[in-house]
Each structure stands twice: as structure tokens, then as C-alpha cells.
Amino acid sequence: MQDCIFCKIVRKEIPSQIVYEDERVVAFKDINPVAPVHLLLIPKEHLANILDINEANAELVGHIHLVANKLAREAGIAEKGFRIVTNCNKEGGQIIYHLHYHLIGGEQLPNFA
């Protein structure tokens, strides 16, 4: 999508700290980290959020989980623990409307309801 900031990261039109890339997914460091490890995992395909996941593309979510698994291990936070979050729409706190999964860890994270 032309004006989407995460599509621009996928196309390397704006700088980012990419830590992983394959044919379907890019992972990069969040520009405003909330914990020592804070990565964003995104599909290269522009999907607005989890509501755009359907029967035809659901396998992508499994792939993103595999990448999250790998990156958490590589970051050294797998055993201690980490969190994966995807925000959806306004009340879910979504700011950027390109599907992304936050991978957060490296310290004790606060519990939430």
C-alpha cells in the first residue's frame, strides 16, 4: 500500500533495523521500545490487522509464530519469558494499520487483565 509506513519498511523506502526477513515476513526493532527486547513482526503483504486474516491466508499466522519462536530464542528471552501482542482497531490501541505482532521481553512484564 502506497502510504503505509510498514509497507515502506518492507520496500526499504524508509530506514529500519531489520533483524529477520524471508519471503513473507519482516521483523525489525520497534522505534519506541517498551522493554529491552521489542521487535515488530509483520507480513510483507499489507493486511490492516487480525480482522484481515481469513481461511486463505491463515497459514501466515502460524509462520509468524515460528519466526517469533526463533527470534525469541535468538534474543535469549525464550526461557525467561516474553509476550506477543497484536493490537486491533482503536480501542485495542492500534496506531499503525498494517498487521503487526509485538515481541516484547527482556524484563519482568506487567500483568494485565
Residues belonging to the active site: 100
- List Cα–Cα distances, 41 to 6, 80, 111, 113, in angstroms: 10, 20, 22, 24
Nearer to Zn ion, 98 or 102 (CB): 98
The amino acid at residue 84 is I
Cα–Cα–Cα angle for 33, 98, 12, rounded to 5 degrees: 75
> Given the C-alpha cell 499503525, which residue does it identify?
96
Task: Find the binder of Zn ion among 98, 99, 101, 105 (CB under 5 A).
Answer: 98
CB of 17 to ligand AMP, least distance (A): 8
Q: Is the dihedral of CA 82, 85, 91, 93 positive or negative?
A: positive
Task: Find the binder of ligand AMP among 95, 108, 110, 112 (CB under 6 A).
Answer: 95
Size of the site for ligand AMP (CB under 6 A): 12
Q: In this structure, what C-alpha cell is assigned to residue 50?
A: 487480525
- Binding residues for Zn ion restricted to 24-63, rule: CB under 5 A: 46
Binding site for Zn ion (CB under 5 A): 1, 4, 6-7, 46, 98
Binding site for ligand AMP (CB under 6 A): 5, 16, 28, 30-32, 40, 87, 93-96
